[in-house]
Amino acid sequence: MALTAKRLRELLSYDAMTGDFIRRVSLSPRTAIGSKAGCVDHKGYRQIRVDGKRYAAHRLAFLYQTGVWPGD
């Protein structure tokens, strides 16, 4: 099942000024509510795992803001 904007907004909040995603819920002992989501990969891009799948933060930001996935 594809990640929807609704599901993303349930799990994370997004600050458009900083580009940070903050956890609204904790899905594991390693992720605390209120913590910054994701990590930076070897290319310098922030990656965020949502429901077991890894996404680039900039693509999640587009989905969060517009409600649709960006094009390729």
Looking from the CA of 21 toward its CB, the CA atoms found within 13 Å total 28
Residue 71, in any domain of the structure? no
Q: What is the mean pLDDT of residues 14-18?
A: 96
pLDDT category at 43 given cuts 50, 70, 90 is: very high
pLDDT category at 37 given cuts 50, 70, 90 is: very high
The confidence score (pLDDT) of residue 28 equals 82
CA distance 69 to 72: 9
What's the number of domains the chain is made of?
Answer: 1
The length of the chain is 72
- The 10s digit of each residue's pLDDT in 1-12 is 799 999 999 999
In a domain, 46, yes or no: yes
- Residue 72 is predicted with a pLDDT of 74
Q: Decide if 70 is inside a domain.
A: no
In-domain check, residue 72: no
Its domain, for residue 48, covers: 5-65
Report the distance separating Cα 56 and Cα 47, nearest Å.
Answer: 5
Q: Is residue 41 part of a domain?
A: yes
Name the CA dihedral angle for 46, 50, 54, 55, rounded to a multiple of 10 degrees. Answer: -60
